[in-house]
Amino acid sequence: MRKKIVAGNWKMNKTLQEGLELAKEVNSKVKANHAKEVTVVIGTPFIHLSEVSKVVDPDIVAISAQNCATEASGAYTGEVSAAMIASTGSRYVILGHSERRSYYGETDEILAKKVERALENNLEIIFCVGEVLAERENGKHFEVVESQLVNGLFNLTAEQFSHIVIAYEPVWAIGTGKTASSAQAEEMHAFIRKTIAGKYGQEVAEATSILYGGSCNPKNADELFSQPDVDGGLIGGASLKSDDFIAIVKARQNH
């Protein structure tokens, strides 16, 4: 069966000291109600990765980066490679977040290269897709998400694709307090699964975890996670407070 995952994306928040405190709190609270069937991930800024990996139990909380370089190594000032990320003990990397796509010009082609680098370094990838409001209003949301999947990921082999987790994050729901309804989330998640099945077959599609992200919080998590194709969440704002994040983890455990 596919994994149930609750992943925090801290984005550009928390100093190192604050991040270590939060990571310790998350670790101890997850440990206190450990349910093995939910994988808990925290996605920290790069500079936190190696320190955070010393204060969390890898069997309890997995660590993720939020980006990686397109190139393996060399003269790329300011970049952080997938090998460096893996060397900190991080197991995951978030790629294709809408903030990376829109503020830093990350195209599908750039993302396909990042995916390759991450896989070469045995990282699991949380690959984000999602439409902006105008695309939904114009009825283009399925088309947009399909092309993000095809162009970013569908050059992979089925074995490589087994290291991909999809996060559906409608851009209009990110940081806005406006969540997709559970019906809207389920409709898109089912579409994503069908698109994966069309490329890799039903078995691969059934094994792929598809997370929802966008103003997911302790109040709406239960309803979102009750949907059959919503396997978990990618949590922004609510991952910055351990109590809120743990409440979302518990909501995932309860289904």
Binding site for ligand 13P (CB under 6 A): 9, 97, 169, 174-175, 213-216, 234-238
**Catalytically annotated residues:** 97, 169
- 23 vs 174 by CB, closer to ligand 13P: 174
- 85 vs 235 by CB, closer to ligand 13P: 235
Q: Among residues 178, 231, 223, which one has the least CA distance to residue 207?
A: 231
CB of 69 to ligand 13P, least distance (A): 20
How many other β-carbons are positioned within 10 Å of the β-carbon of residue 135? 18
- 200 vs 210 by CB, closer to ligand 13P: 210
- 214 vs 232 by CB, closer to ligand 13P: 214
| Amino acid sitting at position 80 | V
- 200 vs 211 by CB, closer to ligand 13P: 211
Give me 152's structure tokens: 């970013």
| Amino acid sitting at position 226 | S
CB of 71 to ligand 13P, least distance (A): 24
Is the alpha carbon torsion for 184, 242, 115, 177 positive or negative? Answer: positive
CB nearest ligand 13P: which residue? 236
CB of 12 to ligand 13P, least distance (A): 12
Residues in the chain, total:
255
Q: Among residues 215, 219, 211, 225, which one has the least CA distance to residue 182?
A: 225
CA distance 244 to 96: 25
